[in-house]
């Protein structure tokens, strides 16, 4: 049965690439049908709905086939693996025949609507059967008749002779009430005090009573208790407001490609949504391959209160981490609310908000909202950790953890153009007798040697120093703000350090060692990264030529020389 008999002018012209992108990127279920109703492509969410025996698909195909112009939207019950669902399908006819189907999960909305409708009908039936009470007031405005069953917890006898204004919660002043109205009143809402002190909202309808001569005698009417209905409507309004705020924050998190920027914006939006003075997002700090303590990721407040230190907050954060519910508490003049963040059931951070102690206390709406935000911030933490891992993998050598060739030379290039005064040094390091280790003991032993050299190079480095691995057994170390004497000290430290790794050598006859070429860089002479590297490389070969386990200084940079070669006087060695 064809599924797109509509006129061609209603169809949407989309190329194959656009259709595939729409289906693949749509957040809900999406699929494309050809002119015969066969599925051309479907995203994972649609495939989940199609799993098993998708009897609903025939209903969708029939709907598309009988639609006269544009199909519009159709709600279809689906028996999915996770249970019964109501899925709203939006259909877009395609120029080449067939249709693009985009779905929205309407299950919760339908269930809520059904539950609310059912509750209202039940309440209406009960009210009509037993909750309405009739009354009549006299010319003095007092009750002269009340339904025998009474009202508001009072018996009829307790109300007769009483003035209705004594029951009113609000100050009405001289304004007329339904009980003393002089013109018809329909569905007037007011709050009355019950016998137990509770408040009830009633809807009153009344007509005035007059003598034939026009003198007012009182009023007669009925009241219906709508307290539950009003409370439900207020709760529903709060739920909708909470969902609107949460949706806005989730939209912010999802539409920022940079997870760090998304967290910054979401932190500010969370504080505003909760009416908080401040909001702080923590995440688990990453230490090597392990997980460290919580660290501040984002902090939104005009000025962080000095009382809210990490040490002071930690008990509350730990309480939130141990509970499925947000944890509340007080520190100094502040009320706090904290919630743990998770991803795939693993704790990865926490979220805490605060407001002044004299402000409104946190209520259930606040707790529901912060719990919803925490769920999505946990996902943002996971995305940020993934981005950090990708960045680390792109910048680091996988074996040693040092900067890889590309990143090292990029960072060194940035150092060369800095306006800092004073010299720096590039050490070009080559392993001696490394090949013998691989040949005699295998590459696993060789990897152990390379890791040890990585540790040796990173030991004692200062901020701004750059250790890197160029590949194979060639390493580099950029030492900033270092003259020739200081560079010599670094080279000697490395040579002394390699002596502690002799146990990893292939044999006593072929001990591990280092050959180091040192090129001192002077700002302002116009030397490029390549020229500096070539000088250090040449010096390394000069050191190796004088005997392994040595270091040598390169000759000063000469702009007109394409290949500076260190002289014998410039080369120094350590036996």
Per residue in 458-503, pLDDT tens?
A: 987 888 899 999 999 999 999 988 999 999 999 999 999 998 898 8
Higher pLDDT, 254 or 351: 351
pLDDT reported for residue 341: 87
Highest mean pLDDT among 297-306, 460-469, 539-548: 539-548
Weakest mean pLDDT among 312-316, 376-380, 521-525: 376-380
Percent of the chain with pLDDT over 90: 24
* Cα–Cα dist 405/409, whole Å: 6
Angle (nearest 5°) at CA 541 between 535 and 545:
145
In percent, how much of the chain has pLDDT > 70?
86
* Per-residue pLDDT at 288: 34
Average per-residue pLDDT for the chain = 82
The whole-number pLDDT of residue 126 equals 53
Instruction: Specify the pLDDT at position 151.
Output: 86
Stretch 349-364: mean pLDDT: 86
- pLDDT of 8 > 80? The answer is no
Residue where the block lists tokens 């002596």: 499
**pLDDT-based confidence at residue 257 (cuts at 50, 70, 90):** low
Residue 301 has pLDDT above 70, yes or no: no
Is the model more confident about 575 or about 149?
149
Q: Residue 524: what pLDDT?
A: 85
Comparing 203-217, 345-359, 375-389, the range with the smallest average pLDDT is 375-389
- pLDDT at site 574: 34
Contact 171, 191 (CB under 8 A): no
Contacting residues for 180 by C-beta, under 8 A, at least 6 apart = 137, 141, 164, 218, 219
Q: Put residue 503 in one of left, alpha, beta given phi > 0 → left and psi -120 to 50 → alpha.
A: alpha
Over 50: is that where the pLDDT of 245 sits? yes
pLDDT of residue 486: 92
Mean pLDDT on 128-137: 72
Residue 137 has pLDDT above 90, yes or no: yes
CA distance 474 to 469: 6
The pLDDT value given to residue 553: 96
Q: Give the sheet arrangement for strand 39-42, strand by strand.
A: 39-42, 30-33, 99-105, 83-93, 72-80
Q: What is residue 321's predicted lDDT score, i.e. its pLDDT?
A: 82
Place of tokens 């250090």: 536
Which of 78-87, 120-129, 482-491 shows the lowest per-residue confidence on average (mean pLDDT)?
120-129
Per-residue pLDDT, averaged over 426-431, amounts to 96
pLDDT: is 430 or 48 the higher one? 430
Task: Provide the pLDDT for residue 18.
Answer: 85
* Residue in the block written with tokens 């909708």: 240
Q: What is the mean pLDDT of residues 16-37?
A: 87
* Cα angle 562, 563, 564; round to 5: 115
Q: Look at residue 531 in the predicted model and tell me its pLDDT.
A: 94
Q: Per-residue pLDDT averaged across 250-268, rounded?
A: 74
Residue ranges of the alpha helices (H) in 275-363? 310-321
Q: Average the pLDDT over 72-90 and give the result.
A: 85
Which whole-number Å values give the CA distances from 385 to 11, 59, 344, 392, 456, in the listed order?
44, 44, 14, 10, 28
Statement: residue 366 has pLDDT above 80: yes
Per the confidence metrics, is the pTM higher than 0.75? Answer: no
Q: Between 570 and 527, whose confidence is greater?
A: 527
Whether 128 has a pLDDT exceeding 50, the answer reads no
Q: Can you read off the two tokens belonging to residue 227?
A: 């307290």
pLDDT category at 374 given cuts 50, 70, 90 is: confident
Sequence-ordered list of residues with C-beta below 8 angstroms from that of 55, at least 6 positions apart, any chain: 79
Q: Strand, coil or helix: what is 388?
A: helix
> How confident is the model at residue 285, as a pLDDT?
57
Alpha carbon distance 324, 527 (integer Å): 61
The whole-angstrom distance between residue 174's C-alpha and the CA centroid of its chain comes to 55
- Helices (H), ranges, 335-428: 364-395, 405-416
- Per-residue model confidence (pLDDT) at position 291: 33
- For residue 174, give the nearest of 141, 204, 202, 143 by alpha carbon: 141
């Amino acid at each position: 049965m064809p599924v797109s008999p509509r006129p061609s002018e209603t169809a949407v012209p989309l190329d194959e690439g656009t259709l595939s992108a729409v289906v693949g990127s749509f957040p809900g279920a999406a699929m494309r049908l050809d002119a015969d109703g066969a599925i051309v492509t479907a995203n994972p969410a649609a495939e989940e709905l199609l799993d098993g025996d998708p009897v609903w698909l025939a209903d969708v195909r029939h709907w598309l086939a009988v639609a006269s112009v544009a199909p519009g939207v159709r709600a279809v019950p689906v028996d999915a693996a996770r249970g019964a669902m109501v899925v709203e399908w939006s259909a877009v006819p395609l120029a080449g025949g067939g249709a693009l189907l985009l779905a929205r999960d309407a299950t919760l909305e339908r269930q809520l609507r059904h539950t609310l409708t059912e509750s209202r009908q039940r309440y209406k039936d009960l009210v009509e059967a037993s909750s309405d009470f009739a009354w009549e007031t006299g010319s003095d405005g007092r009750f002269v008749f009340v339904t025998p069953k009474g009202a508001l917890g009072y018996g009829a006898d307790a109300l007769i002779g009483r003035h209705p204004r004594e029951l009113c919660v609000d100050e009405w002043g001289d304004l007329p009430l339904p009980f003393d109205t002089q013109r018809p009143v329909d569905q007037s809402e007011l709050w009355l005090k019950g016998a137990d002190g509770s408040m009830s909202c009633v809807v009153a309808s009344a007509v005035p009573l007059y003598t034939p001569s026009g003198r007012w005698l009182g009023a007669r009417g009925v009241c219906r208790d709508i307290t539950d209905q009003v409370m439900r409507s207020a709760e529903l309004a709060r739920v909708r407001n909470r969902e609107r705020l949460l949706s806005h924050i989730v939209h912010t998190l999802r539409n920022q490609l940079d997870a760090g920027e998304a967290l910054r914006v979401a932190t500010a939006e969370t504080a505003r949504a909760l009416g908080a003075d401040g909001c702080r997002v923590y995440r688990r700090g990453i230490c090597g391959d392990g997980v460290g303590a919580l660290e501040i990721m984002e902090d939104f407040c005009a000025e962080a209160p000095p009382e809210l230190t990490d040490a002071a907050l930690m008990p509350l954060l730990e309480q939130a981490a141990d509970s499925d519910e947000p944890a509340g508490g007080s520190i100094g003049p502040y009320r706090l609310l904290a919630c743990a963040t998770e991803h795939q059931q693993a704790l990865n951070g926490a979220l805490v908000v605060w407001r002044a102690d004299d402000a409104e206390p946190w209520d259930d709406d606040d707790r529901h909202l912060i719990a919803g935000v925490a769920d999505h911030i946990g996902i943002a933490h996971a995305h940020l950790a993934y981005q950090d891992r990708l960045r680390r993998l792109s910048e680091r050598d996988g074996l040693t953890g040092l900067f890889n060739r590309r990143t090292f030379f990029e960072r060194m290039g940035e150092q060369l153009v800095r306006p800092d005064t004073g010299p720096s040094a590039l050490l070009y390091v080559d392993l001696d007798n490394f090949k013998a280790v691989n040949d005699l003991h295998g590459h696993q032993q060789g990897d152990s040697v390379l890791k040890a050299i990585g540790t040796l190079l990173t030991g004692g480095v200062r901020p701004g120093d750059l250790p890197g691995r160029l590949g194979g057994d060639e390493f580099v170390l950029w030492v900033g703000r270092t003259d020739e004497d200081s560079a010599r000290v670094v080279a000697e430290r490395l040579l002394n350090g390699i002596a502690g790794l002799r146990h990893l050598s292939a044999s006593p006859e072929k001990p591990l060692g280092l050959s180091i070429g040192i090129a001192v860089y002077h700002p302002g002479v116009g030397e490029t990264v390549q020229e500096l590297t070539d000088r250090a490389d040449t010096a390394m070969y000069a050191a190796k030529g004088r005997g392994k386990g040595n270091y040598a200084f390169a000759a000063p940079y000469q702009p007109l020389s394409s290949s500076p070669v260190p002289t014998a006087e410039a080369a120094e060695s350590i036996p």
